[in-house]
Amino acid sequence: MDDSVVTILVLLCVFLGLAFALFYAQQTASIVVAPNGDVDSRNRLLEDGKNNEKVLQEVEKIQKLIADGANSFLFREYFYIAIFVAGFSVVLLLLLGFMDSWRNAGFAVLSFVLGAITSVGCGYLGMRIAVFSNARTAVMAMQNGEEGYRRAFITAFKAGCVMGFALVSIGILMLYILVNIVKYSYPGALTDIDKTRQMYEAIAGYGLGGSTVALFGRVGGGIYTKAADVGADLVGKVENALNEDSPKNPAVIADNVGDNVGDIAGMGADLFGSFAESSCAAMVIAAASPELYRSWPALCFPLALCSCGIVVCFFTTFVSTHLYTVRSAETIEPSLKLQIGISTLLMTPTVYIVCFYFLPSNFTIAGKAVKNWYVFFCIGCGLWSGMIIGFITEYYTSNRFSPVIEVAGACRTGAATNIIFGLALGYKSVIVPVFCLAITIYVSYSLAGMYGIAVAALGILSTLPISLTIDAYGPICDNAGGIAEMAGMPEDVREKTDALDAAGNTTAAIGKGFAIGSAALVSLALFGAFVTTVKLDTEGVNILQPFQFAGLLVGAMLPYWFSAMTMKSVGKAALDMVEEVRDQIRKEPRILDGTVPPNYERCITISTDASLREMISPALLVVTTPIIVGFLFGVRCLAGVLAGALVSGVQMAISSSNTGGAWDNAKKYIEAGKMENERKGGAVHKAAVIGDTVGDPLKDTSGPSLNILIKLMAIIISIWPCFL
């Protein structure tokens, strides 16, 4: 295949994705929110039309508060990230320059900085889209009956598409530009295997930059959102029996801000990091193959695969927007579920075509003879495992199925039984995903070695635009519900947004499942590259030896240490928030009457300061551990640490995410009146709220952050020749 074909394919798919995102962004922007706008029959609010202007004024005011709070937090967080990136770039340059070569060091640092900048940009873009579309989703939910469900769903879904397609397109474009820059800066690359490998090892810094920003985004954003959420729930709902997003609750705006900075900006940076690392891992491993390193299309195979995924997801979205449209609460989850199934079905033959045209029919890698259809099966295992993990996650987190209904029923006897049932659900939900990953790893390694595992991770992420779409959909609907209540919209509007949000909780858990599964595979691929580089693949890693076994135990402990740090950080920040909310109500009781507005800005400041302060220690633990272990105890101990962290981190991440998601939807199940004689504000509902409050840091802070822990540790050691 001619080299120009790769460029044409990648650029065409990227520009299609960007154009599609821009088109949906313009459609979302056309929805009228401003009170002096032309409210016509397409954007009709209340039936009598008398309160349109008042409602829209409140909507615009609340949206501005949320947007300002999110901007304030992200700008301060990115300031600290910029300082870290600058300092770490200097350290990286000096260490790699003295230990390897200044050329490789320079390009590794360039890749690192570019990956960090791209990740920051993607996270900020996601946040801007979310705060732009949440009010418009609430406005559309005010349509009567089925039309309200349909238009609100399509608005949130299209906004999610903007993030999904824009993020993936930008990520592919930036990585392809970087690959070409480095390619032309390494004379002899693609003809000399050592230079080709050096070229791609330098590019591995792109994934490191993406995951570094993702770590800060997930941890900092997670602490922010859960501090506000816990404070709002404990004082607002439990102590004062306020509604979910009552404007009388001082922490309510901070809670809505947190949905954007944690679940949108943090999640976008997280999945971008997974894409960048899996692509870089596949390229680095491919550069060691005598047949692949001479072929530019074969080396760019990961980018071609993900580019074709954009086209597949482009056609898949029309199912939810035009064919299977949402008309009621019962059709929301099936519509989103179809996105996963259809994209997987369409992607399967696409993978075969890409493998057939971009890879040689036979090649060797690490001494293993591989055929291009072997690679197809590796990617297919990852692709279908991702779909199964998504459906299993839905089963354990959706209140349409028995596990969550059982958790809701356990609330009748109090918060204790609710927590017991929820923890058991989370532990049980690990079984099928782990078997899926185990089978994928076995098949992929048997067919194509570590290259097979790396492309299996790409298989999970090949439909990333859809994964990001349904993941971003949830926080947008959550914010829409908050805006609807605070703006004084009718009760039936809140019922619609709650139904949309309940499905969003499930899809967010599905997105976390995709991220965790791909993180496990890409970390294992990077681990394989590490043991090959330090010659442990031939000598072996014997876990019965003291250093290896000690490293294994320490590595398995690290996710627990990391989770403890993040959860305690949420607890400390939540303590400050609870005291602030109580203090405001104590000093001004008229807040509860609605005659005096709360001080929202003070709560936003508390969440911002606490999250930025508390995110430093967990981040340092992840970044410094592989460096310290490698320097002080050697590569064998480090191999044990990485293996232990990978094995225990995957289990904890899946369990934590699903437990928290189940508790949240159990609460919404009760609030929707689906349990006989149980309503909001009763003892059963309070037990469900306590369970949801306990689960918040699990599903939105420690759980999602664990997959970044294992990815970041793995990619740090993959670019550190000073361990040799």
Is residue 506 scored above 50 in pLDDT?
yes
| Model confidence pLDDT, tens digit, residues 82-117 | 998 898 889 888 877 777 677 778 888 888 898 889
687-692 average pLDDT score? 84
Q: pLDDT confidence of 39, banded at 50, 70, 90?
A: very low
Average pLDDT along the chain: 82
- Ranking 232-236, 379-383, 553-557, 584-588 by mean pLDDT, the lowest is 232-236
| Kind of pairing between the strands at 368-371 and 362-365 | antiparallel
Cα→Cα distances 523→207, 473, 513, 710, Å: 12, 28, 15, 6
Residue range 63-76: average pLDDT? 83
Confidence grade of residue 532 (pLDDT, cut at 50, 70, 90)? low
pLDDT band at 188 (very low <50, low <70, confident <90, very high): low
Nearest to 164 by CA among 291, 79, 268: 268
Mean pLDDT of 605-613: 83
pLDDT value for 38 = 45
Residue 591, exposed/middle/buried by CB under 10 A (0-12, 13-18, 19+)? buried
686 pLDDT above the threshold of 60: yes
* pLDDT for res 432: 92
| Most confident by average pLDDT, 182-196, 247-261, 531-545 | 247-261
pLDDT in tens, 254-276: 877 877 777 777 777 777 777 88
pLDDT computed for residue 41 by the predictor = 35
- The dihedral through the CA atoms of 581, 583, 585, 591 has a sign that is negative
pLDDT at 718: 67
- The answer to whether the CB of 666 falls within 8 A of the CB of 691 is yes
The C-alpha atoms of residue 165 and residue 310 are separated, in whole angstroms, by: 7
Buried b vs exposed e over 14-47: b needs ≥16 C-beta within 10 Å?
bebbbebbeebbebbeebbbebeeebeeebebee
Give the per-residue pLDDT at 425: 93
Integer Rg of the chain from CA? 25
For residue 540, name the pLDDT band (cuts at 50, 70, 90): low
pLDDT greater than 90 at residue 711: no
Percent with pLDDT over 70 in the chain: 91
Does the pLDDT value for residue 46 go beyond 60? no
- Which helix H or strand E contains 136, and what residues bound it? helix 102-140
Mean pLDDT of 376-397: 89
Give pLDDT tens digits for 637-653: 888 888 898 889 888 98
- The 10s digit of each residue's pLDDT in 327-381 is 887 788 888 888 888 999 999 999 999 999 888 888 888 778 888 899 999 999 9
Q: What is the dihedral of CA 424, 425, 430, 433, to 10 degrees?
A: 160
Query: DSSP H helical segments within 534-595, as ranges?
Result: 536-539, 546-587
Give pTM, 2 decimals.
0.86
Highest mean pLDDT among 9-13, 125-129, 592-596: 9-13
CA 410 centroid distance within chain: 30
Band of residue 1 on the pLDDT scale cut at 50, 70, 90: low
Is 424's pLDDT higher than 90?
A: yes
pLDDT at 537 over 60: no
Least confident among 423-437, 485-499, 543-557: 485-499
Nearest to 456, CA basis, from 432, 473, 439, 468:
439
Instruction: Kindly state the average pLDDT of the residues 42-65.
Output: 65
Q: Which of 24-33, 292-301, 563-572, 708-717 has the lowest mean pLDDT?
A: 708-717
The H-assigned helical ranges of 615-718 are: 616-671, 683-697, 703-718
Question: In the chain, where are the structural domains located?
Answer: 3-42+52-528
What is residue 37's predicted lDDT score, i.e. its pLDDT?
A: 46
- pLDDT-derived band at 43 (thresholds 50, 70, 90) equals very low
